[in-house]
Structure 1
Amino acid sequence: MSRRLQLLVIVLLAAALVGTAVALGTRDGAPPGAAPDDAPAPSAPSAVPATRTAPEAAHEFLASWVDDGRVVRRDQGGDTVSEGQAYGLLLAVVADDRTAFDEIWGWTSEHLVRADGLLAWRWDDGAVVDEEPASDADLDAARALVLAGAAWDEPAYTEAGTSLAADVADRMTVGTALGRVLAPGVWATAADPYGYNPSYASPAAYAVLGDATGDPRWAELASGSAATTAALLDVSALPPDWAQVHGDGTVEAMPGAAGTGQSVRYGYDAARLPVRYAESCAPEDTALAARLAGPLGSGDDSLPAELDLGGTALEGSEAGHPVAWVGRAAARAADGDVIGAADDLDRADRAAQAAPTYYGAAWAALGRALLESDALGGCAPLGDAA
């Protein structure tokens, strides 16, 4: 090959390489494959969704997990629990979806409402299989009904919500030296010490129902729950899934609802506590949520779903469950770490899509609803950043 031909080949190869680089969008100082400065933002792959708004997250949950008004736990055999119905009602309010709300409350009224007005906990294969009410579900449902009544000017919903609220206050609260607290069910009110689930307390729900009913017991529940949570956090860095409260105000972490079972832990229940307190409008409540930010750490790659009360991962703990990310997002938001909180909500979304479960999907959506939206009557700590 002549020298002239060799030079021509070199020039042509160089031109081809430059064209390829431009086509790939490389630029000075950028790694190969980086997008050019003026390129449109890439759409997120299906396994890694872009940041959702609270209404979008609510709509997606309703579309994926609700059949004819029934919130179906598809990953748990297809049953339904009162908790799920209440979550669906709350998310229908956030989505401003009157049709979905009507259907969910219609199914709940037909299949779960007991003679005393409370909600049976579990329905499966065409019938109620556990009639014991769960106070967190009834509390969330009452809140959703009151909010729906106001949002859509529907007195029937307001009346249903205030009636359910009265039933909860009458039958599932107890007085202690720390103040009035929400028992997890009717069963837990029978004798001192009282069974207690710290994550069932919802200061924002208490405020909504107090305003709607004028019943002073809701303010008593707010102060009593805060005092009980503070007492638990004075003993350990993280709150337990289950505890018991003595009439004299003594509090103790417990290994389960009945005081037996797995070891004491911060797990799938307790992770909801910082969310409930972070959305409160009372600074003393958000300060309680902020106390969990340090013990929950700041790792970006994984977050164990079950920890001991000092913050150490338990053996065999699932990594990165959506409710774990949402719980830490709430603690970070309450502590002023807006960027970290928003990142954790995105991690919850990715985890929920990577391994879909009813509970994970519900809390990925509720995390945005309670922390970013004012639709549920609280003071969302990420509302300005959403």
Structure 2
Amino acid sequence: MHSAPFHRRDLLLAFAGLAAGPGWALTTSEQAWDSWKAAFVEDDGRVIDDEQDGISHSEGQAYGLLLAQAFGDRDTFERIETWIRATLATRQDALMAWKWQNGAVRDWRNATDGDLLRAWALLRATRDSGWSGHFRQVQRISRDLVRICLAPDPRASDEPLLKPADQAMATTASVIVNPSYYVFRALIELGQATNQPALIRTAAHGERLLTDPGALRDWIEVQPDGLVPAHGFEDCFGWDALRIPLYLAWSERTDHPALARVRDRFAATSSPKHVATVTGPDGQMRQHSDAPGFRAVAALAALRAPGPAGPPGQGYYPATLGLLAQIAWREGVKTPRSH
């Protein structure tokens, strides 16, 4: 059972207030976080993806950790992390299994973005919130990300690419890559905190990768001659790739050329108050949405304060992106760090 009664309308009213102005209204943001918890976090710390038959996955658990840390909610943070350790983090390495459903792990492969985001959340909890007991796990995850989830770029063997999973294809002829898995700030901060320079180098190379317009896809293959659409996946800028501007903005890369290209993608719809969520390689809109969370990411890509508002029923994924966009605006755009 969920930890509290929940109504979609309440969530959207809270989100709307969150972005009413350029400031960070504590009471309103707390309401938004409480509504997200009520909707998607079980009492035991399991984060529910209601758009995928109620499964739980490493990405969702890691997003829950990031949000709990950002909102100063240690109790929820520890409950989510405890559930992770009891269920997903039971591989022989320090990474998580990807999928849990109906009481058991259903896919033991990892998803690299989930592990990267979890490690970053644990680092932020230790470094920024003073919540002790997690740094050793940060070190272990960072070590195994380097050991298991990096592969040489076929175009330049001394440059590392981020594999989307431990078992993802990676040969001297082709490496499969999900560009939305590059959370640049996380890679850099983890590399610095754990003395893993390969993670920092991966971030720098990933930023260069995204300067190629061909990287603006959900899935690509990096081959010696350049980037091509990944075999077996839809050739589109879609549900995965729309996180690219979120992570660039959060990492203070607001002048990156990919942001301008993404803005054009989001704008490829003529429906008022909608954004294009899936576009083909030619930029033509295939799907669009008025979900507040997707609109928040589109605003962030345009370097505007995210302002989610719209009809109820947006679901786990856009609701999560909406909250993350608020944090990215606060930390990466509105008040960037001094260097």
Q: TM-score, normalised by structure 1?
A: 0.74
What is aligned with 2:241? Answer: 270
* Alignment-derived partner of residue 6 in structure 2: none
Query: Distance in 1 between the 2:225 and 2:139 partners?
Result: 29
Alignment-derived partner of residue 232 in structure 2: 260
Q: C-alpha distance in 1, partners of 2:242/2:199?
A: 23
Could you say which residue in structure 2 is the equivalent of 1:359? 317
Deviation at 1:199, TM superposition (A): 0.5
Task: Report which stretch shifted further, 180-189 or 85-94.
Answer: 180-189
What does the per-residue CA deviation read over 1:83-134, in whole Å, with 9 as the maximum and x for residues that have no partner?
Answer: 1100000000111011111100000001001121110001111110000100
Q: Which amino acid aligns with 1:99?
A: D
Whole-angstrom CA distance in 1 between matches of 2:239 and 2:129: 33
- What value does the CA root-mean-square deviation take over the aligned residues? 2.3
SS of 2:279 mapped into structure 1: coil
Shift in CA distance, 294/75, structure 1 to aligned 2, threshold 3 Å: closer
CA distance in 1, matches of 2:169, 2:151: 6
**Shift in Å at residue 293 of structure 1?**
2.3
Residue 368 (1) aligns with residue 339 (2): no
Partner SS state of residue 147, structure 1? helix
In structure 2, the gaps of 5 or more residues are: 1-8, 19-23
The equivalent residue for 1:19 is none
How far off its partner does 1:72 sit?
1.3
- The 1:261–1:206 alpha-carbon spacing in structure 2 relative to 1, beyond 3 Å, is closer
Residue pairs, 1:157-236, within 5 angstroms: 157-176=134-153, 177=155, 179-191=159-171, 192-231=173-212, 233=213, 235=214
* C-alpha deviation, 1:189, in angstroms: 4.6
Alpha-carbon separation, structure 1, partners of 2:177 and 2:246: 18
Describe the shift of the 1:201–1:55 C-alpha distance in structure 2 as closer, same or farther (beyond 3 A). farther
Query: What does residue 93 of structure 2 align with?
Result: 116
Contact 2:58 2:96 in 1 (8 A): yes
What are the superposed Cα offsets for residues 323-363 of structure 1, whole Å, 9 maximum, x if unpaired? 53233222201xxxxxxx22xx323x435xx1141112111
Tell me the secondary structure at the aligned position of residue 230 of structure 1: coil
The residue type paired with residue 51 of structure 1 is G
- How many Å separate the matches in 2 of 1:146 and 1:242? 28
The residue aligned with 2:4 is none
| Cα shift at 1:210 | 1.6
Give the aligned partner of residue 281 of structure 2. Answer: 309
Task: Report whether the alignment pairs 1:320 with 2:320.
Answer: no
51, 57, 61: which one pairs with 2:17? 51
Aligned to 1:382: 334
**CA–CA distance in structure 2, aligned partners of residues 360 and 109 of structure 1:** 26
Shift of 1:383: 3.9
- The answer for the alignment partner of 1:26 in structure 2 is none
Q: Secondary structure at the match of 1:381?
A: helix
The Cα of 1:249 is off from its aligned counterpart by 6.1
Which of the residues 64, 71, 78 maps onto 2:39? 64
Question: How far apart, CA to CA, are the structure 2 residues paired with 1:202 and 1:79?
Answer: 24
For the 8 Å contact 2:170–2:176, the answer to whether it is kept is no
Matched, 1:91 2:85: no
- C-alpha spacing 1:293/1:74, structure 2 compared with 1 (3 Å): closer
SS in 1 for 2:84: helix
User: Which residue is equivalent to 1:21?
Assistant: none
CA contact under 8 A between 2:217 and 2:238: conserved in structure 1? Answer: yes
CA distance in 1: counterparts of 2:257 and 2:300, whole angstroms: 11
The two structures have a TM-score, normalised by structure 2, of 0.83
Identity %: 27
Distance across 1 between alignment mates of 2:282 and 2:232: 20
The Cα of 1:287 is off from its aligned counterpart by 4.2
Partner of 1:10: none
**Alpha-carbon separation, structure 2, partners of 1:319 and 1:243:** 24
CA distance in 2, matches of 1:183, 1:260: 16
Structure having the higher Rg: 1
Check if 1:350 corresponds to 2:330.
Answer: no
Letter in 2 for 1:250: G
- Displacement of 1:57 after TM fit? 3.4
2-structure distance, mates of 1:209, 1:80:
25
Which of 118, 121, 124 in structure 2 is aligned with 1:141?
118
Q: Which residue of 2 aligns with 1:331?
A: 301
- Pairing 1:296–2:266 present: yes
Where structure 1 has 5 or more consecutive residues not aligned to the other structure, the ranges are 1-44, 334-340, 375-379
Instruction: Go from structure 1 to structure 2 and tell me whether the alpha carbon gap of 1:81 and 1:147 turns closer, same or farther (over 3 Å shift).
Output: same
Q: Cα deviation per residue 1:246-284 (whole Å; 9 max; x = unaligned)? A: 2x3611123xxxx2253x111111100011111213566
Decide which moves more: 49-58 or 185-194.
49-58
**Greater shift in the superposed pair: 69-78 or 298-307:** 298-307
